[in-house]
Structure 1
């Protein structure tokens, strides 16, 4: 999950600039996504998600366990096309899920940064899972078993809240949620 966890906070750190929606509004008069979704943030998030996955591949080439836990591969040994595709789908999918939720929040009339419990904490996970499942269903099914899915769904909101609080205190987020 690291290639999916890393993009959103680093998109916030390195984001800014031109909004993906170009400042356009939908027929309801509300922004498509809002100023918080920028090209710089999108590309930075994908870059750092990919970098994280590639570093994981490097670690896996040295050891297949961490703290006595068997680590999953991204498909095959070393850097393969299938591994890069899985890593990209996790990174891009997490940002896609976040953008989709921003679109949905704008339709509900919620402003940028307005809390939307549970959805705010899991939108990127679901986006990463959906995109990765569509791109690599066999890999996804082999690696995201029911116990892993439950663990991710329980731990992610705690990790999300922790990183948002840190982001708030270092000044890259306007709200601590």
Structure 2
């Protein structure tokens, strides 16, 4: 579980940072599709995407530069064997997580769900799917050597719990309009 949390930190941090630092011009520019619904909606902004991505990348690079770390006697894996590979991995996790979230926003608009409407299970794992997909494309050897089946299963189990907890905190702080 510790390794799962460690490896996902660059993917976990972009969404709350996008909510915290976002706002402004929506990525879809306010455009709608033929179905009359917005492409993504006002919740996906350029500033949020950039800020969230940068926060995830910066955190990932800080974790890389910390070097060999042990927590509870567990050696935590590195995000790469060079600055370039670590940047590629952390950028893939961070940007991929936001793309996964945006992809699900697109799907939710197509099925008639309004901004903030819950889609249990999917809302909690869409960003994981995006982060993993982009990282598999850019750094397959790193991904498969670190996200073993037990680590991947731990991510799938703990992520919904973390997601719900952080959303409630964001709601209480006034950063989010809904507690889910």
Q: What is the TM-score when the length of structure 2 is the normalising length?
A: 0.94
What secondary structure does 1:70 align onto? Answer: strand
After superposing on structure 2, the runs of 4+ consecutive aligned residues of structure 1 that deviate more than 4 Å are none
Q: In structure 2, what is the Cα distance between the partners aligned to 1:127 and 1:99?
A: 9
What pairs with 1:32-111 in structure 2 (closer than 5 Å)? 32-59=39-66, 61=67, 63-76=68-81, 79-111=82-114
Match 1:128 to one of 126, 131, 143? 131
Which of 169, 173, 179 does residue 170 from structure 1 map onto?
173
Asked if 1:19 corresponds to 2:26, the answer is yes
Count residues in correspondence: 173
Q: Which residue of 2 aligns with 1:7?
A: 14
Distance 1:119 1:39 in 2: 23
Calculate the TM-score normalised by the size of structure 1: 0.96
Q: Which runs of 5+ in 2 are unaligned?
A: 1-7
Quote the Cα distance in structure 1 between the aligned partners of 2:170 and 2:13. 13
Q: Structure 2 CA distance, aligned partners of 1:26 and 1:159?
A: 33
CA displacement 1:63-110 (0-9 Å, x = unmatched): 33122111111121xx52111000000000000000000000000100
Note the alpha carbon deviations across 1:117-136, whole angstroms, 9 max, x for none: 00000000000000000111
Per-residue Cα deviation, 1:1-26 (whole angstroms, up to 9, x for no partner)? 10000000110010000000000001
Structure 1 SS opposite 2:23: coil
| Uncovered stretches (5+) of structure 1, i.e. residues with no partner | none
Rounded Cα–Cα distance in structure 2 between residues aligned with 1:45 and 1:58: 20
Given candidates 136, 147, 159, the residue that maps to 1:144 is 147
How far has the Cα of 1:159 moved from its partner? 0.2
